[in-house]
Amino acid sequence: MAMQQLSGLDAAFLAMETDTVTGHVGSICIVDPATVPGGVLDAERLRELVSERLHLVPPFRRRLVGVPFGLDNPYWIEDPDFDLTYHVRALALPAPGNDRQLAEQAGRLHARHLDRSHPLWEMYLITGLADGRAAIYTKVHHAAIDGVSGNDLLAALLDRSPEGRDLPPAPPWECDEVPSQVERLVRGAVSLTGHPLRVAKLSLDMARRLPGVATSQGRPRLPVIDRLLGRGAGAVLTSPPLRAPSTPFNKPITRWRRWAFRTLPLDDVKAVKNAHPGTTVNDVVMGLCAGALRRWLLDHDALPASPLVAAVPVSIRTKEREGTGGNAISAMVAPLPTHLEDAGERLVAAHEAMGAAKDQHGALPATLLTDVAQFAMPALAGQAARLSARLRVLEFLKPFNLIISNVPGPQVPLYYAGAELLALYPLSAIADGQGLNITVMSYRNGVYAGLVADRELVPDLEQLADYLQEELRVLLARTVAPRQGTRRAGRAAAHHSPSGAA
C-alpha cells in the first residue's frame, strides 16, 4: 500500500495528546477459554490469530511518519520494522481475580500512551480471572479508528464458531520505505496550496445553512435571536446552553485513570423503551446516565440547578467509506436532564433533548467537524492543545460536561481465537475539562457500559456505575409489570456483571 495521509480529524486526535491526555480508545472482551479447540488460550495463540488476519486489519501494520516542522498532516506507512510480539502481550491477575482487580488493571493499562515509533495499538491477554475466564484488552489510537471502523476491526478478529472461518487469501505484503524529509516536505507544500479552495467551499456551504441554524430548536440558546423568534423558556430542556454548568469532573486531569464496567439486560432496556412510545434505546441510555449522574452529584453536594450538557458522537460514514479506517464522525450536543427529580420525567426530557439535538445536527453540514479540522497545521494544533491545557481553557469554556456514546454491536454469539465471547466492554478517552466518559456497547442480550474517569476527580467511579443499574431498576419497576426471578443479560450477565449486576 502507498503512503496514506491522515485527515485533519485523524490528526486532531494526535494533537490532543499531552502528558496527561491520551488519544486512544479500547475494549475489554471477556472470554471463556474452555471453548478453545485444544483448551489453551495464550499470547501465542492470539499472535497466530492476528498474524493470519493482518490483511483484514490494515491499521495494525501501519505506523506514522511526520511532515517536517509539522506543516501538514502525517502519513501512515506499512511499518518496515513491524514486530507482532511487541504488540501482543500477556499478564495474570493475582488471586482471587475478581472484577474489581480487572478494572484496576485495565485503568492502569489505559493510562499509558502508545509509542508512536510503532503501529498505534496494543493487545493484552489477561488471565487469572475467577471462574476460569480470561480478558482481552485492546487499545488502538483514535487517529486510526472511530466507533464504526473499530467495530469492523474487532469483527475481523471474531468468528461465529470456535473453529474459526475460511479466510480470503492474503495479498502479498510489502513494507514501505520511510520517505525522506524532503519528499514529505514537498508533499506538505503541495497540500497547503489547496487550502484556499477548501475554505471557500466550506464558507459557501455554511452561508447556505445559516438560516436553518438560526431557526433550529436544537441550537444553543441565543437570547437576542430567541426573542425575535419567540422561543419560550421551555427551550431549556431541548437546547444546550452556551456554557455547561460546573461539576467536580470538569477540571484538568492527571495521568491516572479509573475504569468501571457494568452489564444491563437488553430486554429490560427495551422494555422501558417500549413502555414509552417514540423513545429509542439511545434515549433510555441517556436517561439512565442522567439519573446516575444526578445521584452521584447529590452524593457530592455538587448538583447544578441547570441540566448537564452531553456531547454524543455521531457516525457520518457514507457507503463509499464503509470498510475503511480513520474517522468519519461528528457530534451532537444535548442537555442532560440531571435537574429533574423524577426518573420518568428525565426519560421524557432526554428523548426531547435528543430529538432537538438531531435537528441541530441536521441543520449543519454533516462533515463540518472534519472539514474544519482539515485546516489545522499539526504543529500549531499540538501547541494549541498544550497551551489550552496550561491555561485551563476547556475548564473555563465548558462546551459540554462529558461525552456519552452508544455503539451498537453484534447480536449473535461470537468467538475470539476459539474462546466464546461472553461480554464486550468499551474504554474511551477523557481530556482536560472533561474528566468523565460513559460509553456503552450492545452484544447479544446485554448492554455493556464502560466508564472512564480521572482517578482523582472521580475516585468513587464504581458507585457511579452502580447507579446506572439502580436507575434501570427504577424505570423498569415504574413502567413494566415485575416478572418472577432475577433477569440476566444472557450468560454474560450471569457470570460477568460486577457488583451484583442486573
Exactly one of 87, 110, 141, 142 is catalytic; name it. 142
Outline where 175-242 has alpha helix (H). 181-192, 195-215, 223-229
Sheet containing 446-454: which strands, arranged edge to edge?
257-265, 446-454, 436-443, 402-407, 308-315, 329-336
Rounded (10°) angle between helices 266-275 and 281-299: 100
Q: How far apart are CA 65 and CA 377, in angstroms?
A: 15
Phi (first) and psi of residue 500, to 5 degrees: 65, 50
Q: How far apart are CA 156 and CA 55, in angstroms?
A: 10
Q: Please state the separation of Cα 424 from the chain's center in Å.
A: 13
Q: How far apart are CA 337 and CA 357, in angstroms?
A: 14
Phi (first) and psi of residue 142, to 5 degrees: -65, -20
Q: Is 385 left (phi over 0), alpha (psi -120 to 50) or beta?
A: alpha
Q: How far apart are CA 108 and CA 164, in angstroms?
A: 32
Q: Is 70 left (phi over 0), alpha (psi -120 to 50) or beta?
A: left
Burial of 449 (0-12, 13-18, 19+ CB in 10 A): buried
Whether the CB-CB separation of 249 and 308 falls below 8 Å is answered with: no
Q: At 257, which helix (H) or strand (E)?
A: strand 257-265
Sign, CA torsion 136/142/143/148:
positive
3-state secondary structure of 89: strand
What Cα–Cα distance (Å) separates residue 491 from each residue in 30, 265, 428? 11, 11, 25
Phi (first) and psi of residue 399, to 5 degrees: -65, -25
Amino acid at 135: A
- DSSP assigned state of 377: -
Whether the CB-CB separation of 497 and 366 falls below 8 Å is answered with: no
* Cα–Cα nearest to 94, from 106, 83, 102: 102
Q: How far apart are CA 203 and CA 143, in angstroms?
A: 26
Q: Is 142 a catalytic residue?
A: yes
Show the cell assigned to 258.
479509573
Give the active site residues: 142
